[in-house]
Amino acid sequence: MPGSVKVKVLSARNLPIMDRSTLSTDAFVEVAFTCVNYCQICIGSTMHKTEVIRRSLNPSWNSDWFYFELDDRALQEEVLLLKVMDHDTYSAHDTIGRVYFDLNPLLNRGQSRSLSGWFPIYDTMHGIRGEISLTIRVDVFLDTSRYHQSSIGVRFFYSCGVPNGYAIDFLIGFIQELVMNDDPEHQWIEKIRTSRASNEARQRLFSRLSGELQRKMGLKVLNLGGNSVIGYQLHFDLEGETGVVVRGIGTAVRLRKLLPTRSPPTSPVPTAS
């Protein structure tokens, strides 16, 4: 078990009116991870739900900690997904919006592995649909096996220069990676599913492919003796029925964190008597 993720759903605010008769919303949240199979929602059968808060546009759940165990590959490739839903008793629950979290920024050594705050709830058909307050904690147990498939700890910088607070110990050179997959919008199921479901399938796929690309590039960097990529660029090519191609390029380097300089204390100037 290389890692665990804990999620606490606190509250939401400014949700849209989903029930016109009461001018309110019966909101709850589903918490899961996106699957490798983008036609599904969660890894295996692991999905958690909050309680339903009736007739409120600003619900407060203050849920228990939802716990997930993931291997190192899933930590880097899969995305934490929160679906904010409106509960219906006699029909299918309506989707209010979704929140996607890429956990890679929380996996770097020396970084805080917890995150909390207010995050926008987004729907592909209606845009921003309110905000949700969350706390996320990640615990990582590094795999020391020579056959591990993780590149946890490799940093990716979009800036072309050396980041502030770092110095280059070793410049390795240009590095690239490419991954591809079928495009959800060119599958047979596209004929029967809704536009929202089609948009969300693509959104999940793009998130997973970007994580897979970074993991593979990170493994190349580690094998070359580096620990970072600067000038990182990510490009999506939509090739129609051929599929989706994701390309990543950058410069592999070994960076060293600079220690803060401290000025020696100044001696007080004696005053003439």
Q: What is the CATH number of the domain that holds 33?
A: 2.60.40.150
Q: Does pLDDT of 111 surpass 70?
A: no
Q: pLDDT-based confidence at 149, cuts 50/70/90?
A: low
Residues 6+ apart with CB under 8 A from 114: 106, 135, 136, 137, 138
Q: Does pLDDT of 266 surpass 70?
A: no
What rounded mean pLDDT belongs to the chain? 85
Identify whether residues 8 and 136 lie together within a single domain.
yes
Q: pLDDT-based confidence at 272, cuts 50/70/90?
A: low
Q: Where are the beta strands (DSSP E) in the chain?
A: 3-13, 27-33, 48-49, 66-70, 80-86, 94-101, 114-123, 127-140, 155-156, 166-181, 228-238, 244-257
Q: Which two tokens stand for residue 271?
A: 């005053």
Phi, psi of 255 (to 5 degrees): -100, 150
Per-residue pLDDT tens digits for 27-66: 999 999 875 443 333 444 578 999 999 999 999 999 999 9
Q: How far apart are CA 205 and CA 184, in angstroms?
A: 8
Identify whether residues 25 and 113 lie together within a single domain.
yes
Q: For residue 39, what pLDDT is reported? A: 37
Number of domains present in the structure of the chain: 2
Per-residue pLDDT tens digits for 181-232: 988 888 888 788 888 888 888 888 898 899 899 999 999 999 999 999 999 9
At 194, the amino acid letter reads: T
Q: What is the CATH number of the domain that holds 184?
A: 3.30.110.70
Burial class of residue 254, CB neighbours in 10 A (0-12, 13-18, 19+): middle
Residue 239 lies in a domain: yes
Q: How far apart are CA 213 and CA 218, in angstroms?
A: 8
Identify whether residues 65 and 133 lie together within a single domain.
yes
Q: Which domain holds residue 245?
A: 155-257
Q: For residue 35, what pLDDT is reported? A: 57
Per-residue pLDDT tens digits for 58-108: 999 999 999 998 887 888 888 899 999 999 988 889 999 999 988 888 887
